[in-house]
Chains A and B, each alone.
Chain A
Amino acid sequence: MQNAPLGTAPLNDAAFLRRESAPSLPPPVAIGGVLGWLRTNLFSGWVSGPLALLFIALLAWTLPGLIRFFIIDAVWSANDGTACRVPGTGACWAFVERKLDFFRYGSYPEFEHWRVDLTLIIGAVLAARLLWPQGKKSTLGLLAFALGVPLFFFIMLPGPQAAMRAPLVELPVLFAGVGLALALEYSRLRTAWVAALFFVVYPVAAVLMLKGWAFIGLSKVDTDLWGGLFLSLLVATVGIVFSLPAGVMLALGRRSRLPAVRFASILFIEFVRGVPFITVLFMANTMLPLFVPDNWTPDRLLRPVIGFSLFAAAYMAEEIRGGLQAISKGQTEGAQALGLSYWQMMRLIILPQALTLVIPGIVNIFISLFKDTTLVAIVGIFDFLRTIDAARIDPVWSGPTISATVYTFAAAFYFIFCFGMSRYSMMMEHRLSAGRRH
């Protein structure tokens, strides 16, 4: 049967032979064009369609009001709060503009602002050099590094107006930043040396610069006067500068063979990670002065900074431990077979790989640490958010829209900063996993 030629097979009764063509199927639903896009992306089902409509309605309802409040009805320039108090006006940007210097520097004396600017621009260039992906930079990359980074921080900190008001003081700051970036790039300084500069030399120089030192002709500025954005950046920077090496040590300690070392590391890490940051701050503020001899009482600003650094170190340690765990045992065994000592092995083989692996994680921790710097306000430190919250109740400006305006301004700043960092961390993650993708 099966092998019989088709034509000769007898027509079985049970066989079915189609005599007319099947009805044609409907044309496929449009998947191209505007309608097709709308159908696949907005109204693809019984839940999706109404939900999309609901959200579009929500947007249509809120968006015009927001635009009116923040742009059209907003007060852009005024000398006091009268214009902002008129019913129906929107955000009071004039207030932000007036208080911008307070938000940036707190009560730091105005004629000494350049010291803050110079300190931070140098830190920014060094940090950018460390975070920049390795390898030779393209012309565009070089331009972005040597001009973009200093310019960005210049606009953020002294601001263009300051450059116009005091060009002789502020422009050299910008040039110093650009010069340092170019010098770093053309001297081909090794990353290890840049790291040494940033982690060892820079902190000392920064403290001398900001606090003042009569020996180099800088007047003393008490830490009580420090505040604003610069203080937030400073606390975050100290946190990262301290927490990276401390985190490495704690992470190594937690993986150590020596029980006492391991136990001490675990105890510290789990203790700090188990309590809220605020209680660590309270502890640093009220207990630290009790723990040291009476004449050593730490500076009012130093106490929360110590608390913040310890807090940061515990979180950093766990991130770095993750990186250490990801390095295959073969690397350790190979290093030991070569006869390297423990510290040689860590310094030359394990840590370079582990730390590169966790760069995205470290940046993410930095983002959350930067957000956490806002909490130092609880012990009376005037960080960025605290200056904003304090300016809010200025009687000259008080009005119904002031709170919403300043908080939106602060949110925009934090968002730009943190979102930028998170994009960077994603970029690095992508780059680092390039070798492992297939």
Chain B
Amino acid sequence: MSDANARQQPSVSLLYNPRVRGFLYQAVLVAIVGFLAYEAVVNASTNMRARGIPTDFSFWDRVASFDINQTLIEYSAASTYGRAFFVGLLNTLLVAAVGVVLATFLGFFVGVARLSHNYVVQKLATIYVEVMRNTPLLLQLLFIYNAVLTPLPNPRNSISLGAGVFINNRGLVLPDPQFAPGAIWVLVAAIAGLLLAVAFRFYAHRDQEKTGRSYPVVWIGIGLVLGLPALVYLALGEPVTFAAPVLRGFNFQGGVRVLPEFVALVLGLVLYTAAFIAEIVRAGIRSVSHGQTEAAMALGLSRQQTLKLVVTPQAMRVIIPPLTNQYLALTKNSSLAVFIGYPDLVQVFAGTVLNQTGAAVQVIAITMSVYLVISLVTAAIMNSYNRRKALVER
């Protein structure tokens, strides 16, 4: 019974060597996946040839010959399928952008309301969140579209929402902005105000780190972003005016018409996503332990300062990652547009274009890659943000 004997590597068969085994497993996996992929490609090409389905991307430049009822870029039935793709993509991005902004506001409001000490406010927020989270988004969309917007009166009996905004069963009618020659300067002023506000925030932060003095960054920022364009606007003699829509005959003349499908989709996405954002915000705020607030108070910070300097930065660290996931979910959910006929990427491209060209593989692959790219880019940005904001631990 010598120690040397026990310590000696027992000789095992090659099959039980973990490295060899690992290599074997992987080889088997690669072989299976490779075989399935090969079979799929072979089958697909035979089947597609047999059914006369195009196997290349030549359809991209052919004339689409169908109309789209909301186009952000120039498009007509004489445009190409490629053009239709971009129209759909832009419509998707428009819905996503509007939805993300509105859902964030509503979500933060409801999330804070759920933490309110006010009984009525808190209970109503809770009911809202529970109802929205526990019913399918598709049902909410159909409800808004078929049970709320469709029964609205026709254009002649439109409901006025004030300030030249009308709503009827053909959508929302907004005043049309008219740009006089000086209008560009208002935009320039707005951008300058934004840049100045950002610069001021940097300066204020730096100065506070150095001297401890704090500035009313938010108010000065709002003043710069809103005040500067307003001043330019007044100085140039109101170069932007709004032409109110006028009811003439059976429909409105002038004004910007927003599709009811767009209204329904944005409304549905915002109401649904806001409920999830509210829960994230609530969890984020509650994750900051009460000791932090008490310590800040003990240091003599005011309630506002405590919120701004202690609670919010720590809460945001918890809130931001799941919030981004909700933004992505909203973008992906905007594909439900296909159910109510809003011309988004899926409806235009994976719907109409696919049906007309029959190029299923190519069209689906392009559509999926668009969403994948959006997801991956967002994930990359998020990861870098997380690295920057993560707690520095030993």
Chain A contacts to B: CB under 8 angstroms? 40-42, 44, 48, 51-52, 55-56, 59, 257-261, 264, 270-271, 273-279, 282-283, 286-287, 289-294, 367, 371-372, 374-375, 377-378, 385, 389, 392, 400, 403-404, 407, 410-411, 414-415, 418-419, 422
Contact = CB atoms under 8 A, between A and B. Distances in A.
Nearest to B23: A258
A276 B117 contact: no
B80 to A, nearest CB: 22
- Which residue, of B33, B46, B332, has the highest number of chain A Cβ atoms within 10 A? B332
A264 B33 contact: yes
Given A275-B371, A287-B361, A259 B26 contact: yes
A389 B118 contact: no
B131 A415 contact: yes
A289 B40 CA distance: 10
Nearest to A44: B117
Contacts of B136: 371-372, 374, 385, 414
Nearest to B151: A400
A278 B354 CA distance: 14
Interface residues on B, range: 35 or more
Contacts of A294: 43, 46-47, 50
Contacts, number: 157
A52 B134 contact: no
B322 interface: no
A290 B147 contact: no
A290 B44 contact: yes
Contacts of B143: 403-404, 407, 411
A364 B368 CA distance: 26
Contacts of A378: 338-339
B38 to A, nearest CB: 11
Contacts of B297: none
Nearest to A413: B135
- Which residue, of B50, B121, B338, B371, has the highest number of chain A Cβ atoms within 10 A? B121
Q: Interface residues of B: mostly helix, strand, loop or mixed?
A: helix
B350 interface: yes
Contacts of A293: 43
A403 B118 contact: no
A374 B46 CA distance: 34
Nearest to B140: A411
B336 A415 contact: no
B191 interface: no
Contacts of A415: 130-131, 134-135
- Which residue, of A55, A257, A277, has the highest number of chain B Cβ atoms within 10 A? A55
Nearest to A288: B40
Contacts of B375: 270, 273-275
A375 B336 contact: yes
Contacts of B119: 41-42, 52
A24 B50 CA distance: 98
A112 to B, nearest CB: 28
B116 A48 contact: yes
Closest 6 CB pairs of A and B: A274-B375, A418-B134, A260-B26, A276-B332, A371-B136, A41-B119
13 contacts: A41-B119, A55-B124, A257-B22, A276-B346, A282-B367, A286-B364, A290-B44, A290-B53, A291-B40, A400-B151, A407-B142, A411-B131, A415-B134
A51 B371 contact: no
Contacts of A275: 332, 368, 371-372, 375
A415 B372 CA distance: 31
A277 B44 CA distance: 22
B44 A52 contact: no
A260 B147 CA distance: 51
- Which residue, of A56, A282, A385, has the highest number of chain B Cβ atoms within 10 A? A282
A290 B139 contact: no
B30 A422 contact: no
Interface string B81-118: 00000000000000000000000000000000000111
B120 interface: yes
B360 interface: yes
Given A55-B120, A407-B142, A260 B134 contact: no
Nearest to B354: A286
B288 interface: no
B346 A55 contact: no
Given A279-B350, A287-B364, A403-B150, A385 B372 contact: no
B364 A279 contact: yes
A109 B136 CA distance: 28
- Which residue, of A44, A375, A419, has the highest number of chain B Cβ atoms within 10 A? A375
Contact of B361 (A59, A276, A277, A290): A290
Nearest to A283: B364
Contact of B142 (A40, A258, A290, A389): A389
Given A48-B117, A276-B335, A419-B130, 8 more contacts: A51-B118, A52-B121, A260-B26, A282-B346, A282-B367, A292-B40, A294-B47, A371-B136
